[in-house]
Amino acid sequence: MYIRLTIILILATGIYFLGFYPNEILISTLFTVASIFLSIGLTLIVTFDFDKIQNETAYKNIKDNIYKVRNSFLRHFILIIVAYIVGLYFIKFDNKIILVKKLMSYIISFTSYSIEIYQFVTSLMFSIILTSLCYFIINFIEIQKLKDDISTQSRRF
């Protein structure tokens, strides 16, 4: 948990200080890709064939872990939805509402750097979506590998 949070903050800070501010199209595209990966990942989980597992201990462990991954997928997707909405709000906020922008873009100064809140929040939301998408991809690959390993093991007996 803390490692993911650290990665998100480092990524957001790096994106911000590089001057890359995600736009509406990029965030919407990542949201769409994340939605597709969620669908594929949940399909793999739902169609997981536990009948091939003969060892009762392995069956219980794999089943519990698959359910944890499913729940984690859903939590990450809820986080992605929130990040998407907040990110789009701040992008629209940056482009449209100048008076509120002046109020919100007050500068937090520390050392020699200044951060404009609305741009940093957009970078942070982009980072959350990006890291959650990476989480989906990694778990998608691991579930597929697990299915292949179980299939291979069941053929041996």
Q: How high is the pLDDT of residue 115?
A: 60
- The percentage of the chain sitting over the pLDDT mark of 70, rounded to a whole number, equals 83
Average confidence (pLDDT) over 142-150: 86
Q: How high is the pLDDT of residue 70?
A: 92
Pairwise CA distance, residues 28 & 16, whole Å? 19
Residue 78 confidence (pLDDT) above 70: yes
Confidence of residue 35 (pLDDT cuts 50, 70, 90): very high
Q: How high is the pLDDT of residue 52?
A: 78
